[in-house]
């Protein structure tokens, strides 16, 4: 299995380390040709505006859209923003996940918070969610499944088939269950081809 991590900006190294811990070698993706032969891709957190600009410069936008049509992609935080159809800002996004997102939805004063989450499909107790200037999913399309809401009801994890997105940062914890979950999506998809 070959899983890529978009390595333009943000915390891609933490994702690579998490993949390494579960025995999956990560491929750093900065150019379109690196997508060839990958079974899945993680888009890490960072500044989605910067990632969008760099992806435009490196001519990655169309290849990434094409890739996401058939291959599993997981976006975390800024990566979730980059995958969304509507972010309410004029910035380059992939638009592959049918959802409306509000960036930095948790306010300027309290930029970061942590909360224990119940995530559909994740067994073994709550998952510690680390939110850093996190986005909120305001609305989802009819085929998008909501996997997690925080206590106040806001949506922070969604899945549409092979596309998965979380508003928080599992790669900043030692809990590898969401990396396992994504690898299972990748394995399922590879079996179905
Ligand atoms: N606030 C960033 C954005 O909207 C995301 C922050 C993050 O990935 N931690 O792009």
- The per-residue pLDDT for range 170-185, each reduced to its tens digit, is 999 999 999 999 999 9
Rounded mean pLDDT of 14-38?
97
Q: At what angle do helices 12-21 and 177-192 cross, to 10 degrees?
A: 80
List, for residues 74-106, the tens digit of each pLDDT value: 999 999 999 999 999 999 999 999 999 999 998
Q: How confident is the model at residue 110 (pLDDT cuts 50, 70, 90)?
A: low
- CA 74 to ligand 1 centroid distance, Å: 15
Whether 193 has a pLDDT exceeding 80, the answer reads no
The answer to whether the CB of 78 is under 6 A from ligand 1 is yes
Query: Among candidates 14, 12, 152, 134, which has minimal Cα distance to 81?
Result: 134
Please tell me the predicted confidence (pLDDT) of residue 191: 87
Rounded mean pLDDT of 118-142?
97
Q: State how far the Cα of 15 lies from the Cα of 27, in Å rounded to an integer.
A: 11
- CA 193 to ligand 1 centroid distance, Å: 34
Q: How confident is the model at residue 73 (pLDDT cuts 50, 70, 90)?
A: very high
User: Which residues face 165 on adjacent strands?
Assistant: 75, 158
- Going from the N-terminus, what domains does the chain have, and what CATH number goes with each? 2-192 (3.40.50.880)
To test the ligand 1 pocket, which listed residue (6, 43, 74, 133) has its Cβ within 8 A of the most ligand atoms?
133
C-alpha R_g of the chain: 15
User: Over 18-86, what HEC string results?
Assistant: HHHHCCCCEEEECCHHHHCCCCEEEECCCCHHHHHHHHHHCCCHHHHHHHHHHCCEEEECHHHHHHEEE
The answer to whether the CB of 44 is under 6 A from ligand 1 is no
The answer to whether the CB of 77 is under 6 A from ligand 1 is yes
Q: How confident is the model at residue 44 (pLDDT cuts 50, 70, 90)?
A: very high
The answer to whether the CB of 52 is under 6 A from ligand 1 is no
- CA 27 to ligand 1 centroid distance, Å: 22
For tokens 């070698």, name the residue: 25
The answer to whether the CB of 190 is under 6 A from ligand 1 is no
- CA 46 to ligand 1 centroid distance, Å: 5
**Interacting residues of 65 by C-beta distance below 8 A, sequence separation 6+:** 94, 95, 96
Catalytic site positions: 77, 169, 171
Q: How confident is the model at residue 167 (pLDDT cuts 50, 70, 90)?
A: very high
Q: How confident is the model at residue 42 (pLDDT cuts 50, 70, 90)?
A: very high
């Amino acid at each position: 299995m070959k899983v890529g991590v978009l390595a333009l900006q943000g915390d891609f190294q933490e994702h690579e380390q998490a993949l390494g811990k579960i025995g999956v070698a990560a491929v750093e993706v900065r150019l379109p040709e690196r997508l060839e032969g990958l079974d899945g891709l993680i888009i890490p957190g960072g500044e989605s505006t910067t990632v969008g600009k760099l992806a435009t410069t490196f001519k990655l936008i169309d290849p990434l859209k094409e890739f996401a049509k058939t291959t599993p992609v997981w976006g975390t935080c800024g990566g979730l923003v980059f995958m969304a159809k509507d972010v309410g800002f004029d910035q380059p996004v992939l638009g592959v996940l049918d959802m409306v997102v509000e960036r930095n939805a948790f306010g300027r004063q309290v930029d970061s918070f942590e909360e224990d989450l119940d995530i559909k499909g994740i067994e073994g107790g709550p998952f510690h969610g680390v939110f850093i200037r996190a986005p909120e999913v305001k609305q989802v399309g009819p085929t998008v499944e909501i996997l997690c809401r925080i206590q106040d009801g806001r949506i922070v994890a969604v899945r549409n088939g092979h596309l998965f997105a979380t508003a928080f940062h599992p790669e900043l914890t030692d809990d590898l269950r969401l990396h396992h979950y994504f690898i299972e999506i990748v394995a399922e998809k590879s079996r179905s081809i």
